[in-house]
Structure 1
Amino acid sequence: MGLVIDFRPAQPADYPEIARITRDSYLSAGHFDSAEHPYMQQIQRVAERAEAAQIWVALREGELVGAVTLASYGEPFADIALPGELLMRILVVDPAVQRGGIGRAMVAGVIEVARSLPGIEAVSLSTGDDWTSAHALYRSLGFQRVPERDWTVERETEPKTLAWLRVYRLEV
């Protein structure tokens, strides 16, 4: 029997675990050195994020193992979405269970959600330029690069440097 994941909208009782998984996932991947980084603090405020965007969770045998944020064009968390796109961001899987297909199942769930929404024609996302395993996952699920939409954010380091973000898109 294959991996069985329940994919559903987050509930307020899920928020502390979503915050923990988000923190642990970003820190274990080396994206940030500290949970005190301003962006890390922002993405751990799950209740605030849920007021401005949809948060969905993945459960395996009843245990919350991942989360993802979804936003449509014009919404606060839809920074790069174009009209007709559902933006997928902050996709995290608990580091204790990574590499087991949960991320893939979550992206498949996002695609199904997008297909069910009126007016949504595509799913888009940004991912770090050097996040090669994420690139491979998205390509394997049919996402295409949209290099003309790539963008940068300034890192909070001294000296200031830029982080390149790649944009991927999938027609649904």
Structure 2
Amino acid sequence: MYLIVGLGNPGKEYEETRHNIGFRVIYELAKKHRIEVSGLKYRALIGKGIINDKEVILAQPQTFMNLSGEAVAPLVRYFKIPLENLMVIYDDLDLEPGKLRMRRLGGHGGHNGVRSIIDCLGSKEFPRLRIGIGHPGDLMPVRDYVLSRFFEDELKLMEEAVNLACQGIELWLEQGIERAMNQVNRKTD
């Protein structure tokens, strides 16, 4: 079984914000594969289904971003998910908008949601997919930027990024992390 987690903040006021790009990928995967993400377990909305002949759980933590681990770690334990079968999808300030990077493991890179997951799991050895949202520079504080909506000229780019992220997840499930990393990371270089 695989657990695919998209990070974001719950609530209408955060929909379509940069910080919620992980939620958006889960939404698109669920729609494409007809998986209903509506059950609540361990402070996360979840849905079970099949993607590329693999049993998956799609999850959107309903904690706020900085407490994501409080939802993810109990799900991992309850469903007995090996960490290599956990994929965490989240926004990344250090990547240009629309750029994707899939990794087998790594640190939190300053992302508080990932930091919380690492702390609660006691391990950083799980795959992750980072989606670039760009950095505001001196335009506005980072906190305001990640909670803002995408600019009009970024919308098409981010839609393409979400579609590529879905393809990357499907490839990961079908052919493994190495093949998925090669495809995803190369496509947005």
TM-score (norm 1): 0.40
Question: Is the strand fraction higher in 1 or 2?
Answer: 1
Which structure dedicates a bigger proportion of its chain to helix? 2
